[in-house]
Amino acid sequence: MAIVRLATEGDIPRILELYGQLTITTSTTERQRIPSPEDYRETFTRISQLPGHELLVAEEKSKVIGTMVSWSYPICLITPCPGR
């Protein structure tokens, strides 16, 4: 059975591995490259510093199998922010 927990910096390599398996497309941005560990560490820090925002991972048998960001309102995690 999977558990959901807060992500740690130690999860970043696996999160990036999972990220690489996806192509994320929205109406405002399209990301076709995997962020570098340094870029994602900056994103991780930004999320961690925002009250009420969490980066979560699902873990099963000691392996991260999924990830998500939980927040209560729209924020911009990329630079530059589209439309700003």
Q: Set out the domains of the chain in order of their start, with CATH numbers.
A: 3-70 (3.40.630.30)
DSSP string, the chain: --EEEE--GGGHHHHHHHHTT--EE-SS-EE-SPPPHHHHHHHHHHHHHSTT-EEEEEEETTEEEEEEEE-SS----SSSPTT-
**Which pLDDT value is given to residue 79?**
65
What pTM was computed for the model? 0.69
Mean pLDDT of 4-19: 92
- Per-residue model confidence as pLDDT tens digits over 31-52: 556 788 998 899 889 888 887 7
